[in-house]
Structure 1
């Protein structure tokens, strides 16, 4: 039987390496793996639907579900996860010392609908009482001027968004004190080049993030893998096939990260880091699948709705192809 050609755009993560090099092949699929930077993948998939399947921003994907005839359907594979306490930066001129000091301030964000800021705003509200509507958001390019929202937003009036000047960047504005803080996915260059001007809100962020996980059990999900809906509807079996292949590629990495004969990464204390991670998060510390991630997904969907990005509270089951629920994989 001939294989079904399928294009997949995804960054070249260690956990997808086996898919990229072909050592893991999805059953029934001739996979064309295209290793692209996430911003390029998001833009090309969201604006032009260029790939059969692609890594997508979790938030952007949820925004598309509110449209008539939603263009994508996801599988519960999460190539990017990150605790985001480390990604709140403040200007030395802002006077901000505690999370609660953010209330009423000017907050930069490359795009309001980005997944990382959705998690940051939600965590700040849940943990520190910072209402997402209590600040003014300044949107635009972080390092290059002229960035715009990838998707058209229709937010409630209580959320105040102002685009920055097309010749300015958020990184520079933060260092100069033109904005008080920055919620972002990428560390601004001025954090490294001007450490006296820009600092983290949580300088010692690792213990804060570990405590957050210990109390909540949430390892925040950033990205999901989505199929173009017409591709999925024509061959619904591909959702299950892709899911199983992603899981196998990840399983191989778990094994390789504990090999001491030769380190898989350039991290000199890789083994210690893996053992510490297993002790806190368990052997499958980066879980795929629906059931183990339902609570984290439900929390994110609550944030998404509370922040005006989805007009109704989406349910976790709505996000994924039914063929990838555990009952179909037995």
Structure 2
């Protein structure tokens, strides 16, 4: 019997590599893995629905549920990231602590990006700096002309405006035209301007403390399948989730391999030991139940910041076949 051919667009992650090289195969599926830059994937999938499935910004995905619901997600999370380390400030802006962000001009690639939702939510929960306390300016970190991929309808009191067509966030931060930039990537001016620094210089210690207190390892991306694929083949989400779990397990084995260096990091063992000491051995988990608190926190942030218009539960985000409590392969 022939298998279902599906095209999957994702970045080249270690936790997906076994799917990419064929060591893991999803039951009943021939997966054509396209390795593409993440921003290209998001634009092509959200705007044009080009792929059968792809990794997708968690924030963008939640908004698509309220704007036609063209995708169905599975609770596999190819990207997770602590975001304290990607908040940058101009030294001359008078920002010595998070509380000093009140009244400041903050650049964002897009207001709705997942990194920004986490950063704004963390600032409010941890430091009492509300979304209404800052003025946001959106545009490309390095590339001119970037705009929101998804239409926004924000409440009064939240100030968001685009930068000029010839401006970039990185240049504006270095010039003092912005006081801060919250991004997923590191602006080039961090490396070229003496005036650009991190809000949290000792970000590793701050992020470890954040995890110890909250148990949150922020989810950035989900895997989203085109709804027409799922409606025609309702078995696909669970088959894919099982394969993603198997690929994740193989990546963990590779990370723990010690006979030789699979990665070009001489002290990888020590780094892994440090991570496990803070986060435990199973620090990168899939499934709804294992990530309930993290997902609920993100959904609360999205609604609080004027993005999601209703209160979503974690189960509502994912294909019903994949949301059984304690799902294991």
Alignment TM-score, normalising by the size of structure 1: 0.97
- The aligned residue for residue 54 of structure 1 is 54
Partner in structure 1 of residue 258 of structure 2: 260
Deviation larger for 258-267 or 132-141: 258-267
Q: Which moved more, 1:134-143 or 1:271-280?
A: 271-280
Contact 1:52 1:228 in 2 (8 A): yes
- C-alpha separation in 1, matches of 2:241 and 2:202: 36
SS across alignment from 1:222: strand
Structure 2: runs of 5 or more not aligned: none
Unaligned runs of 5+ in 1: none
Secondary structure at the aligned position of 2:228 is classed as helix
User: Matched residues in 1 for 2:21 and 2:290: separation?
Assistant: 28
Q: Give the match for residue 3 of structure 1.
A: 3
* Residue 209, structure 1, aligned to residue 207, structure 2: yes
- Calculate the aligned-residue CA RMSD, in Å: 1.1
Q: Does 1:95 align with 2:94?
A: yes
Partner of 1:22: 22
Number of aligned positions between the proteins: 328
Seen in structure 2, the aligned counterparts of structure 1 residues 214 and 257 have a Cα distance that, compared at 3 Å, is same
- Deviation of the 1:279 alpha carbon: 2.0
CA distance in structure 1 between the aligned counterparts of 2:264 and 2:321, rounded to whole angstroms:
38
Counterpart position of 1:81: 80
Q: Distance in 2 between matches of 1:36 and 1:133?
A: 36
- Are 1:283 and 2:265 counterparts? no
Partner residue in 2 for 1:170: 169
Post-superposition shift, 1:150? 0.6
Q: Please identify, of 27-36 and 265-274, the stretch whose mean Cα deviation from structure 2 is larger.
A: 265-274
> Distance in 2 between the 1:97 and 1:223 partners?
31
Taking the aligned partners of 1:28 and 1:136, their CA distance within structure 2 comes to 50
Shift of 1:207: 0.7
TM-score (normalizing by structure 2): 0.98
The aligned counterpart of 1:243 is 241
Q: Which residue of the partner structure matches residue 13 of structure 2? A: 13
- CA deviation digits over 1:181-208, x for unaligned, max 9? 01100000010111x2100000001111
1:272 to 263, 270, 278: 270
Separation (CA, whole Å) in 2 of partners of 1:45 and 1:23: 26
Instruction: Quote the Cα distance in structure 2 between the aligned partners of 1:326 and 1:311.
Output: 26
Contact 1:323 1:329 (8 Å CA) reproduced:
no
| 2:33 equivalent in structure 1 | 33
Deviations 1:127-151 (A, max 9, x none): 0000101111011111011100011
Match of 2:140 in 1: 141
Please give the alpha-carbon distance, in whole angstroms, between the structure 1 residues aligned to 2:39 and 2:132.
27
Quick one: which of 306, 312, 323 aligns to 1:308? 306
